[in-house]
Amino acid sequence: MRFNTLDDMDLAGKLVLTRVDINVPVEDGTVTDATRIERIVPTIKDILAKGGRPVMLAHFGRPKGKVVPEMSLRVTLPALEDALGQSVTFIEKPDRATLDALPEGTVTLIENTRFTAMEEANDPKMAGFLASLGDVYCNDAFSAAHRAHASTEGVARLLPACAGRLMEAELSALDAALGTPLRPVMAVVGGAKVSSKLDLLSNLIEKVDHLVIGGGMANTFLAAQGKPVGKSLCEHDLADTARAIMAKAETTACTIHLPVDIVVAREFKAHAPSEILPADACPDDAMILDAGPATVAAFDTLLQECTTLVWNGPLGAFEMPPFDAATVRAAKLAGIATTAEDLISVAGGGDTVAALNHAGVADQFTYVSSAGGAFLEWMEGKTLPGVAALEAAKTA
């Protein structure tokens, strides 16, 4: 994968349109989690250091193409200024003359790009208007790169364009995980439903050497093998699909790993009485809520054989102890291997990030993506419009 970074661009004296993701949670007019804002700081600082003036473009909420005062980006200003350590100029209706008049060192934030329907329609007129506001385009919002919008794709094709530091790190990590990985590669895919990850599974079995399936998804595969799953969450109507995926894996030299033991309970609640049983011994009145210790031991053995790990989804109902045990233990083992530099580990997806934070190992992984939908689409092998535009871009 080839794309320009900030290191390839001449930014001195130039206005740098910088697409960021600062779609942060807000309560009572105050940002409650500034993580996304903090992650764009290196890009903004580097643009300033290279003599450029960053002009941030971002969306906030879903105003559906209309001006919704409650979804104004103005609410993010205090958190932005705190993270950057300097004032930020907010402009509702930008024009080139106003931006040109701003002094060197100014950081600017433009109002919510989704306040017009032209944004999500990727209207050429809006892309052209945005291009008129800058000299260089920098995309630092991988989390929005799966959307072909005016501020993520359209304008990128009209100006010299590059990836910001966050985008650069994300793309480099994903390329290391699935593009040109060090082998053997193992993928962990968990979560509730097979139906939501069919494209993901189909793509992964063509790219990885080992595929570990956990969570509610594993129940569907166990049932497809004729094993009882009791009252477990299970998509019985996808049994043929699961068998087809397992058959395809045999033709691609990908080994699928399912739980060899299970943790079952009669109630879906924290601390419900539970027992550990072989994977083929779930009682009719019980439900599978986690993988057992033998499964985690097998995971550990597999981990020691592999060089690269891609993780999306928990192995059990990790929100409820003690059914978080397999996910926490497996995550800790991956963290230890990564810290020892025996493993390249890349993880992403909302539940995955929450699970790794719950296990206290998110900072031990090589890279943890907070991109959500974009991360999933990348793992599915889909082309992300925002990334494709960067790959086609010219330098300044």
Catalytic status, residue 36 = yes
Judgement on whether residues 159 and 192 belong to the same structural domain of the protein: no
Judgement on whether residues 282 and 371 belong to the same structural domain of the protein: yes
Judgement on whether residues 264 and 197 belong to the same structural domain of the protein: yes
Q: Is 74 annotated as a binding residue?
A: no
Among residues 51, 65, 230, 373, which one is catalytic? 373
DSSP tag of 21? -
Q: Is 352 annotated as a binding residue?
A: yes
What is the span of the domain harbouring residue 10?
6-165
- Establish if 174 belongs to a structural domain: no
Judgement on whether residues 188 and 114 belong to the same structural domain of the protein: no
Judgement on whether residues 244 and 194 belong to the same structural domain of the protein: yes
Among residues 36, 165, 207, 329, which one is catalytic? 36
Question: pTM for the whole thing?
Answer: 0.89
Catalytic status, residue 394 = no
Q: Is 61 annotated as a binding residue?
A: yes
Among residues 193, 227, 332, 382, which one is catalytic? 193
CB distance 291 to 333 below 8 Å: no
Per-residue pLDDT tens digits for 33-71? 999 999 999 999 999 999 999 999 999 999 999 999 999
Judgement on whether residues 93 and 59 belong to the same structural domain of the protein: yes
Q: Is 129 annotated as a binding residue?
A: no
Question: Tell me, what's the pLDDT at 349?
Answer: 84
Instruction: Look at residue 16 and tell me whether its pLDDT is greater than 70.
Output: yes
Question: Tell me, what's the pLDDT at 22?
Answer: 97
| Nearest-angstrom CA–CA distance, 235 and 199 | 16
Beta carbons within 8 Å of 132's beta carbon, 6+ residues apart:
96
What band does 396 get if pLDDT is binned at 50, 70 and 90? low
Judgement on whether residues 144 and 279 belong to the same structural domain of the protein: no
- Let me know the angle formed at the C-alpha of 156 by 396 and 178, rounded to the nearest 5 degrees: 100
Judgement on whether residues 160 and 244 belong to the same structural domain of the protein: no
Instruction: Look at residue 131 and tell me whether its pLDDT is greater than 90.
Output: yes
Contacts 24+ apart (CB under 8 A), 91-99: 94/55, 94/133, 95/133, 96/132, 96/133, 99/15, 99/53, 99/55, 99/133, 99/134
Which H helix or E strand runs over 218?
helix 215-224
Judgement on whether residues 142 and 194 belong to the same structural domain of the protein: no
End residue of a domain, out of 135, 165, 195: 165
Judgement on whether residues 124 and 226 belong to the same structural domain of the protein: no
Question: How many structural domains comprise the chain?
Answer: 2
- Establish if 115 belongs to a structural domain: yes
- Establish if 81 belongs to a structural domain: yes
| pLDDT (average), residues 255-262 | 98
Question: Judging by DSSP bridges, how do beta strands 274-278 and 308-312 pair with one another?
Answer: unpaired
Question: Tell me, what's the pLDDT at 395?
Answer: 63
Among residues 51, 350, 372, 381, which one is catalytic? 350
Share of the chain above pLDDT 70, in %: 99
Of the candidate ranges 48-57, 99-108, 187-196, 368-377, the one whose mean pLDDT is the lowest: 368-377
CA distances from 279 to 58, 123, 228, 255 (A): 48, 53, 8, 18
388: tokens are: 């494709």
| Nearest-angstrom CA–CA distance, 34 and 329 | 29
End residue of a domain, out of 165, 199, 233: 165
Catalytic status, residue 373 = yes
Specify the CATH number for the domain of residue 86.
3.40.50.1260
Q: Is 164 annotated as a binding residue?
A: no
| Nearest-angstrom CA–CA distance, 117 and 137 | 21
Instruction: Look at residue 350 and tell me whether its pLDDT is greater than 90.
Output: no
Instruction: Look at residue 372 and tell me whether its pLDDT is greater than 90.
Output: no
Write down the mean pLDDT value for the chain. 96
**Beta strand ranges found along the chain (DSSP E):** 15-19, 26-27, 30-31, 53-57, 89-91, 108-110, 136-139, 161-163, 185-189, 210-213, 255-257, 261-265, 274-278, 287-291, 308-312, 344-348, 367-369
| Nearest-angstrom CA–CA distance, 142 and 126 | 21
Instruction: Look at residue 391 and tell me whether its pLDDT is greater than 60.
Output: yes
Question: Tell me, what's the pLDDT at 311?
Answer: 96
Q: Is 219 annotated as a binding residue?
A: no
Angle of helix 41-49 relative to helix 77-84, nearest 10 degrees, comes to 60
Instruction: Look at residue 278 and tell me whether its pLDDT is greater than 80.
Output: yes
Judgement on whether residues 125 and 198 belong to the same structural domain of the protein: no
Per-residue pLDDT tens digits for 140-171? 999 999 999 999 999 999 999 999 999 999 99
Q: Is 22 annotated as a binding residue?
A: yes
